[in-house]
Structures are given as C-alpha cells and as structure tokens.
Amino acid sequence: MIIHKKKDSPPQKTLEVIGIAAVTVNGYIARHSREKILWSKDRPLFKKQTENFPVIMGSNTHKTLSDGLPGREMIVVNRTDDPADILRRIDQKRCFVIGGGKTYSKFSSYLTHLYLTIHPRVFKRGIRLFTKLEKEVSISFIRLVPVVAEEGIFQFQFKVE
C-alpha cells in the first residue's frame, strides 16, 4: 500500500530496505542490460521473501520481466526519480530493491540489508551489482540460507552498518 506523505519528510526510520540479488562469483548480476535472468536458482526463495512487500526496480529490469511479479506492488523507477521520495511513500515495515545495477546504486545509501545469492558462475563482462557507488557500503554478516546446497548455492544475508 502506498500513502502519500509530506514531500520533504525523510523515509520512515524503521523501514527495512533490502537489496536482493543473484550474483556471479565475480560480482555480476547480468551479462547485459536486457538479459532475462534465467540462470538464477533462487526464484522460489525470492518469491517467498518478497511476497506481499513492495519491490523497487529500474526500467531495464522491468522490461525483462515478462510475467510481472504477482502478489507484490511493483515500483518502477526512472532516472529522474528521487530514492528518498520513493521510500517515504512506502507504509510497510519492509521493501525490496530488486535491481538492476543502476537501481541498486541509486538506492545504495538507503539499504538496510543485502541478500546476495552467490552462483557458481564467472561472466566475462556485464553489469555489476553496483554499477556506480558514491562511497563504500559497510556490511556485517547475519546468516546463510541454503538455496541449492548440493550445488554450493547459498543466500548470504548482511546488515548494512
């Protein structure tokens, strides 16, 4: 549910803003900006974790989702959108920033958590988790969630300091 709040009020302090991504071992989230992510093995976990919460994505990522994301309010951001503005309109305890690289970067200073599922793949080139960062993001480990344990695929959950 979105409610419209006073424009210059900050995002609510208790809002969890969780960046969630499938990444290769060398830090890529896609080979190029139009790639549909078929190699990710964490779709069921992603669905379970994001269900009933707003999901924020960039316009490139939106174009790669043919079926949308049922059960979740989708917030598609463009280059002129202000991340603080988007977040202050969210009246839930949690939202997810689901990519892509430009959008993780745009919201980087608002992230409270990072959920990264490392996949045993190495891309030659592509889009990094953060395409452009203004400053380093300091994180601490929370827990490891098995995704496909026998293939060495786990979700690493971090808290942003």
Ligand X SMILES: NC(=O)c1ccc[n+]([C@@H]2O[C@H](COP(=O)([O-])OP(=O)(O)OC[C@H]3O[C@@H](n4cnc5c(N)ncnc54)[C@H](OP(=O)(O)O)[C@@H]3O)[C@@H](O)[C@H]2O)c1
Residue showing the smallest CB distance to ligand X in the complex? 100
Q: How far apart are CA 107 and CA 97, in angstroms?
A: 8
Which tokens hold the place of 12? Answer: 């609510």
**Closer to ligand X by Cβ: residue 66 or 140:** 66
Coil vs helix vs strand at 73: coil
Q: Binding residue for ligand X (CB under 6 A) from 16, 49, 53, 64? A: 64
Nearest to 101 by CA among 23, 25, 29: 29
Which tokens hold the place of 141? Answer: 């480990």
Residue 11 binding ligand X, by CB under 6 A: no
Where are the strands (E) in the chain, listed by range?
A: 16-24, 28-30, 55-58, 74-77, 94-97, 113-119, 127-128, 139-148, 153-160
Residue 55 binding ligand X, by CB under 6 A: no
The contacts of residue 108 (CB under 8 Å, 6+ apart) are 19, 130, 133, 134, 137
**Closer to ligand X by Cβ: residue 90 or 127:** 127
Q: Binding residue for ligand X (CB under 6 A) from 45, 75, 86, 127? A: 127
Q: Binding residue for ligand X (CB under 6 A) from 6, 13, 48, 79? A: 79
Q: Binding residue for ligand X (CB under 6 A) from 97, 99, 110, 114? A: 99
- Binding mask 12-51 toward ligand X (x if CB under 6 A, else -) reads ---------xx------xx--xxxxx--x-----------
Q: How far apart are CA 99 and CA 81, in angstroms?
A: 15
Shortest separation between residue 14's beta carbon and ligand X, angstroms:
25
Residue 83 binding ligand X, by CB under 6 A: no
The binding site for ligand X (CB under 6 A) comprises 21-22, 29-30, 33-37, 40, 57-61, 64, 77-79, 98-103, 127, 131
